Structure 1
């Protein structure tokens, strides 16, 4: 068996596990989905390409089932390995008027890295927004330089600095091995949960699957997320025609490169959810939505009256997708966090670094896009259940649980962490698509999974934040 065929089998098995035992042998992944092309490799012991192809493939198959329920027609799906691998960090390949876009502001971003503590733990602080950066620097009483952060963090023990960050609602944790995380109370809790939770939270009448021309063009999606994973859930639904309205805070907007990437296929409006007018408009939008996606710190939407139970009361039959860092239950259930913390806490970074300093995966990003695709799969599973039996559903995904899932896929042989690491893009040559936009000419990664009858694609270019009214079309 060739390596590519073996990884295809790995992906089909992973997809079958994600979809669950009730999916049925008639719709086994290998009957509808094929992989093709060159399978690139990363300098990593983890099955990163298999993970990307599996998450995207599982989502694509739920879309295909929805289309079949609505029309009686079947489709086949094809995924190119190269495109799947590139989807872990598509912003790297994105260009504006021929120029690459920086990931974050080099002037304002905290110098995030793994820093050694007094008890030889490796702590990773994140300050990707000015208020978080300032909070970290105030707590540590140091300058925003690598040497100053290293010196300040070296005075703390790992548990002490981790707790101090949590008390101030600052994102930062120290790296753990996989075994250490699985023995931690939060790790134990997440290990008992599925990668994607789909929970029925109230009853409502069934709403049959409907299709006009494209698989999801009868659905409305309210995107209340921020940064990457939440918006990618909504962007994935837009690939197949869903009407997606992105709601952003006018005072805390996402970095430019991420906005250009995650706003594809959406209209974009401003709302201030700290005002009564903003909350009233949000409730009106929820009343007309099929899916709501949010990715703020656990509890932040509930305290505004926009949590899953609140939203289901406003709109019976609603699908509510929550993206968190570490889940929303357990001792860490109220903690916020970002991409790299999921890698660090779960064991990914320790294994990537071997016996030395921990490292994030070669694409730098892993959980953000995978969790977005997995959340989109969960939304479709919930919509399918709504069509069959009715009900409102809460879909839960988390960055840490996604990293745990990647490790559950198994490891590759032959990885040597002592060897110099190639830049991840050296192995990748994805096909890009070009589109006119308010930002000029953009080159971006197209949707990865392609369908035999209804081509996946975004009907709208990425919109600048706040340029549209906060209303459904």
Structure 2
């Protein structure tokens, strides 16, 4: 392994709940520059380490299923960083993708501090409009300018919207939500004895062949996890409410490799279908807020009763403890809250928020969650235990803070610095970032092209 990545890879390996004894005899090779993405934090190390642990964990599961020796794994830092910028690098050919951001989403200077408004969902935009009485960027800025930032943040959140004041690290750690999550790890894994069955005995060429994954995730972090699983053969079925409108610009990336169905979990008929799917699943991955499934009647006890062998993986923004555990949040907001955007501004000598060059908290959390799922599948096969996995963006931010920052800043990487591949989508042809990381003798690919939500039946594709 490239020695320059050894320390960060070890830290990320421990972040998924594994220890040194769990590191396989895999021949791991890391290639590429030690610094690719410019930031005040080691984003390149985080990206490379996250891809390493997920790919190694997938290789471990394949070896356990085949009862064979380990295969060599190769991970390139430039390819890993490209994957962390995948939604930005995605390039339609002959058609137009909607903008990544709503027109009024972004950073604003309030009376006493900077605040970020996240309005990519219609309901979140409506909350900002109700609170401010403004409908475009100019009028929003005028309204925000005369208001205290924290009061505005509270008002928008209480109205059902999403906002975050820019805090420095000290301010965040002195706050109630900051103190509650100061030591939060990226992931926690709690195991229990499993009486359930695993995927079919027939093992294909791909690590997750026959593994059924029920996907209740949105935006970036959760879909990154399930896209990785799908790329190595899992049958991934994404479920959304009928008529749900995801951020449209993300769908060409986040639906790749998956079938998508619509179910109303407040309707008895659809609940019955959902529960049948749960009973046949190996993994449930949820990006809903911590109390969402419980309010629908699907707390952990109910899920386990329906499927004793089910691996349950969940992620949220602000962690699983403290006053913000149920707060709506996104990568860009967590960066503002926990000090990352402020640290970037300080490093570059700027006054305004300077976030990471990619949505690194989202992407890293997704890759780490995928690694933990793969490891849980291996443990279920080899030790008859299954797992409850919880991840958070704030925990991943803590991991990023623990990594040694770079000593200099690089010029911003341009799209042509990364290799893209031709792909097909339901909207038309495009070029996208390939899956980073390679397992010797395994050709990762996605069996489903990206497309709209709700376009498939709510049933498993695998027998």
TM norm structure 2: 0.91
Would you say the 8 A contact 1:204–1:317 is kept in 2? Answer: yes
Q: Is the 8 A contact 1:94 1:101 kept in 2?
A: no
Aligned to 1:186: 177
2:119 alignment partner in structure 1: 127
Indicate if the aligned counterparts of 2:110 and 2:146 stay in contact, CA closer than 8 A: yes
* 1:357 has 2:352 as partner: yes
Q: Offset of 1:113 from its aligned partner?
A: 2.2
Q: Superposed, which structure 2 residues align to 1:291-310 within 5 Å?
A: 291-310=283-302
Matched, 1:13 2:1: no
Which residue is 1:166 aligned to?
A: 157
Q: CA deviation at 1:346?
A: 1.5
Q: Which moved more, 1:13-22 or 1:74-83?
A: 13-22
Correspondence for 2:431 among 438, 443, 449: 443
Give the ranges of 4+ consecutive aligned residues of structure 1 lying more than 6 Å apart after TM superposition.
Answer: none
Q: Secondary structure at the match of 2:239?
A: strand
* Distance (Å, rounded) in 2 between the aligned partners of 1:191 and 1:472: 40
> Which residue in 2 is equivalent to 1:418?
none
2:252 corresponding residue in structure 1:
260
Return the match for 2:104 from 111, 117, 122. 111
Residues 325, 399 of structure 1: 8 Å contact kept: yes
User: Within 5 Å, which residues of 2 pair with 1:231-270?
Assistant: 231-270=223-262
Question: How much has 1:411 moved relative to structure 2?
Answer: 1.1
Distance (Å, rounded) in 2 between the aligned partners of 1:384 and 1:407: 30
Q: Which residue in the other structure is 1:462 paired with?
A: 450
Q: Please say if 1:205 is aligned against 2:198.
A: no
Separation in 2, partners of 1:160, 1:436: 46
Q: Deviations over 1:54-96 (max 9, x none)?
A: 1111111111111121112311111122111111120222222
1:95 is aligned to: 91
Specify whether residues 428 and 319 from structure 1 end up closer, same or farther in structure 2 by C-alpha distance, changes over 3 A only.
Answer: farther
Residue 186 of structure 1: how far off its partner (Å): 2.2
Q: Secondary structure at the match of 2:106?
A: coil
2:310 matched residue in structure 1: 318
List runs of 5+ in structure 2 lacking aligned partners. Answer: none
The question of whether the paired residues in 1 share the 8 Å contact of 2:183 and 2:398 is answered with no
Using structure 1 for the length normalisation, give the TM-score.
0.89
How many matched pairs?
455
User: Does the 8 A contact of 1:103 with 1:258 survive in 2?
Assistant: no
Contact 2:16 2:188 (8 Å CA) reproduced: no
Residue of structure 2 in register with 1:49 after alignment: 44
Please tell me whether the aligned partners of residues 62 and 377 of structure 1 are also in contact (alpha carbons under 8 angstroms). yes
The 1-side partners of 2:387 and 2:164 are apart by 31
CA gap 1:132/1:110 in 2 versus in 1, 3 angstroms: farther
